[in-house]
Amino acid sequence: MKSLAFSLPALRAAYADGLRAEDVAREALARAGACADPAVWISRLSPDEVLARARALDALPPARKALMPLFGVPFAVKDNIDLAGLPTTAACPDYAYLPESSATVVERLIAAGAIPLGKTNLDQFATGLVGTRSPYGAPRSVFDADYISGGSSSGSAVAVAGGIVSFALGTDTAGSGRVPAAFNNIVGLKPSRGLLSATGVVPACRSLDCVSVFALTVADATAVFEVAAHFDAADIHARARMPEMPVSLADGFTFAVPRASDLKFFGDDEAARLFEAAISRFEDLGGRTRRIDFSLFEQAAALLYEGPYVAERFAAVGSFIEANRPAVEPTVGGIVLAAKARSAAELFEAGYRLEALKRRAIALFAEIDFLMVPTTPTTYRVSEVMADPVKLNSRLGTYTNFMNLLDLCGIAVPAGFRDAGPLKGLPFGVTLAAPAFADMRIAAFAAAFEAAQGLAPGGPRDQAPDDEGFIELAVVGAHMSGLPLNHELTSRDAIFVERTKTAPLYRFYALAGGPPFRPGLVRVAEGGAAIELEVWRLPRAAFGSFMAGVPQPLCIGTLDLASGRKVKGFLCEASGLDGAEEITAYGGWRAFMAEKLKKAAS
C-alpha cells in the first residue's frame, strides 16, 4: 500500500473500491512506526486500540458509513489538545494529566469517522514558532533534517507532510498553525477565533487561541473544518459561523500585499522572488494588486510579545511554571515569567491601541478581498535557533503575530521551492488573511492559487519514490495539473512531484495537425532554452497503459532538468515539426496558451 495517497479524495476512492478502514489504519501505523524523525510523536494509541476503532467502522452498515464525511481517515492531535486514553502534556512531562474525555473538536472528528493515531510534539505550552522548545526533541523539516519544522505545532505538521496521517489538529495563537505548514509544504488553516471549540485545549492566550487544521490540500483542510466547526456553549469564546459571500474569480478581485519597503526577508532572496511570483500568480487569476503601508499590522504584532498581552500566557500556565521551574524549557519559562511584571494599566493602554488598529484594518478590508503575506520571511537550521532562540523566533512571526489580535482568519498555502542559495530545495509559503467569518472565502482564493500553480503537497514521501514501484515522468503540455489531459495521470494514481524547468537544452513547438496546440519538445545541440514542466510519480504498473495513449510524433525519452536530474519525459521526433510553430520564447505551455486565449478574447 505504499502507493496509497492519504488525501481525502484518494481515500474516498479507495474505500469505494473495497478498501477497509482496517487496511488504512494498518498502513498509517506502519508509516508512524517507520518515521525516521523520533521527535514527531509524544504518545501514540496502541495498535490494538487503533485497529479496534477501524474494525468498528468497517462493521457499520453502508448507509451509516455514507453519513460519515471522514470515514476511515487517519489523523493526529497536537499534545495540548485532549485525546481520551492518552495524557495531555503540552510538551512538559511534569504538567501531564489524563483527561476523562477527548476535546470537543476531537470528539466531532471521531464521530465523523476519523481515526486518531496519537499526540504530536510541540513547543512547550505552545510558546514558540520554531519547534525546538520541547523535552521530547525537535521535529525537523521533512525536506532537510538540519532545518526546523516550525512550531509550535511541529509534530502535527510533520505527521501530515510525511504522509503518516491525512490531517492533524494544531493550535494557533501567534502563527503556530501556519509557520509549520510553510516549512513542510502543506496547508495550514487558522479559522476565525471561536469557530472550533477550545474545550479540552490547554490555553496559551485564551482569548486569542484557535484550534487549527493541517492538511495536504485546501480542499482537505476545508472538509475537516466543515466537520469540526460547531458552536460549543461550554467554550466561553465560542462564536457561531456567519453567512459568507460567495467568491467568483471571473468578477475580478483585489488583494493587498506589503509595499516593497515594508517587506523583510532577512537576506533570503529566494523567498523574496517566490513572493513576487505568488503576486503574479494571483494577478494571472484576475487579481488587482494593492501595495499597502504595512505599519498597522506591524504595530499590532508588536503588542503580542513586546506588549502586555504576553501576560495572558502567565494567566494560563504561569503558576505552574513558577512552582516547577526546573521542569520547564528555559526559553519558554523566561517568556512566561517575564510577563508577570506587566501592569493592568499597560494592558488597558495596549487594548486602546489595538482597538484603533482594528478600525484601520476594517477600513482597509472594506476595499480589498484579502491580504497576502509571506507566511515566514525565511527559515533556519536547528543549530541556529538553538544558538539564538528568541531573536530568530521573533523573525518568524513577522507576518503572523498580528492575525489573532486583529481578529482575522487565515490560510497558509505552499508557494514554491527555493531554486538557489543556501536554502535551495526548501519550500516557501504564503498566507491569505481576511476579517473573521471569511474563512471559506479566503479558502476559495487559496484553492484557485493552489490549482493554478500545481504545487505538490507534503514532503519527500510524495516527492520521490521509496521503492522500485514508480517512474518519474516529466510532462510539458496538457498533462500538467489543471489542464485537460491531467486526468490521464491522476486516474492512474500519479502523484505530483515538482514544478521546475528543463536544462537549457531544448526548443519548444506547437505541433500542426491532430488536436489543436499539441506541444513538442526537441533537444538541440545549441541555441536551447529552459522550458517549464511538471514531474509526476506514475506507478510502474500503470506506465504501460499510459504509454499506449502517446501518439506519434511524440515519444517518451530522457530529459535533463535544471537541477541536473534526469527523468523520463515527453519528447518530439524531428519528423513531427513540419508546419509547427516555435514557441520556445514563451518558456512553457501555460504561457503560450494564456497568450492564445488573450488573443482569442480580443
- At 481 the pLDDT is 77
Percent of the chain with pLDDT over 90: 75
C-alpha cell, 535: 514531474
- At 512 the pLDDT is 85
**Which residue out of 7, 134, 141, 152 is catalytically annotated?**
152
405-436, pLDDT tens digit by residue? 999 999 999 999 999 999 999 999 999 999 99
- At 564 the pLDDT is 80
> Does pLDDT of 463 surpass 50?
no
- At 602 the pLDDT is 64
Distance CA 54, CA 15 (A): 13
Dihedral, CA atoms, 111, 115, 118, 120, nearest 10 degrees?
A: -90
> Does pLDDT of 468 surpass 60?
no
- At 554 the pLDDT is 86
Q: Is 520 helix (H, G, I), strand (E, B) or coil?
A: strand
168-216, pLDDT tens digit by residue? 999 999 999 999 999 999 999 999 999 999 999 999 999 999 999 999 9
C-alpha cell, 408: 482575522
Percent of the chain with pLDDT over 70: 96
394 is catalytic: no
- Calculate the alpha carbon distances from 30 to 1, 24, 373 in Å: 10, 10, 37
Exposed, middle or buried: residue 383 (CB in 10 Å: 0-12, 13-18, 19+)?
exposed
More confident residue, 109 or 567: 109
Give the CA count within 13 Å in the CB-facing half-sphere of 528.
17
- At 461 the pLDDT is 42
Sign of dihedral through CA atoms 356, 360, 366, 370?
negative
Instruction: Identify the CA nearest to 439 among candidates 169, 201, 290, 247.
Output: 247
Query: Residue 326 gets which letter from DSSP?
Result: G
- At 462 the pLDDT is 41
> Which among 123-132, 453-462, 526-535 has the top mean pLDDT?
123-132
- At 3 the pLDDT is 59
**Which residue out of 102, 166, 176, 192 is catalytically annotated?**
176
510-553, pLDDT tens digit by residue? 998 766 668 999 999 899 999 999 888 888 777 777 877 788 78
CB 407, CB 190: distance < 8 Å: no
> Does pLDDT of 455 surpass 80?
no
Residue 467 binned pLDDT confidence (cut-offs 50, 70, 90): very low
> Does pLDDT of 491 surpass 80?
no
Distance CA 508, CA 379 (A): 36
Distance CA 399, CA 376 (A): 6
More confident residue, 339 or 456: 339
> Does pLDDT of 485 surpass 90?
no
Q: State the CB neighbour count (10 A cutoff) for residue 492.
A: 15
Q: Is 89 helix (H, G, I), strand (E, B) or coil?
A: coil
- CATH number of the 464-601 domain: 3.10.490.10
152 is catalytic: yes
Instruction: Identify the CA nearest to 190 among candidates 206, 169, 212.
Output: 212
> Does pLDDT of 596 surpass 90?
no
- Calculate the alpha carbon distances from 407 to 275, 327, 401, 424 in Å: 24, 34, 11, 35
Q: State the CB neighbour count (10 A cutoff) for residue 304.
A: 25
- At 4 the pLDDT is 80
Cross-strand bridge partners of residue 581 = 510
- Rounded to a whole number of angstroms, the CA Rg of the chain reads 24
176 is catalytic: yes
Distance CA 20, CA 16 (A): 9
More confident residue, 244 or 305: 244
Range of weakest confidence among 297-311, 398-412, 503-517: 503-517
- At 64 the pLDDT is 94
- At 464 the pLDDT is 39
Average pLDDT over residues 457-480: 68
Distance CA 332, CA 334 (A): 5
Average pLDDT over residues 118-133: 98
> Does pLDDT of 495 surpass 80?
no
More confident residue, 124 or 17: 124
CB 520, CB 513: distance < 8 Å: no
- At 157 the pLDDT is 97
Averaged pLDDT score across all residues of the chain:
92
**Which residue out of 7, 78, 166, 212 is catalytically annotated?**
78
Sort residue 513 into left (φ over 0), alpha (ψ -120 to 50) or beta: left
Give the global pTM: 0.78
